[in-house]
Amino acid sequence: MRNFMVLPLLALAACSSAGAKEEEKYHMVERQPGDVGMYRYKTLCGQSKAVASAYLDDQNEAKYREWKQKSDLNCSLANDPFAR
């Protein structure tokens, strides 16, 4: 009886894509207080690249384009000493 209760949970866990998991990590990093300005964007740059890469591996073109654009923005702000 217990095996029948666990199987639906395993099926739901398998539905999460690598991109969705990396995206959740990005949002966790984004919510962290502390770093400001270009230092914050350096952290977000690396994490947004990981999200874009994971969506590329998932072959999700729409999400890849969205996160590639975010990655480009975060990385350009990481190199801007006047970024807030």
Q: What is the mean pLDDT of each run of 10 residues along the chain (84 residues)?
A: 47 70 95 80 94 97 97 92 74
What's the confidence (pLDDT) of residue 9? 43
Say how many CA atoms lie within 13 Å of 14 toward its Cβ: 6
What's the confidence (pLDDT) of residue 40? 87
What's the confidence (pLDDT) of residue 8? 46
What's the confidence (pLDDT) of residue 3? 52
What's the confidence (pLDDT) of residue 84? 67
Range of the domain at 47: 17-78
Decide: pTM greater than 0.85: no
Residue 83 belongs to some domain of the structure:
no
Residue 58 belongs to some domain of the structure:
yes
CA-nearest of 68, 70, 28, 29 to 52 is 68
Number of domains in the chain: 1
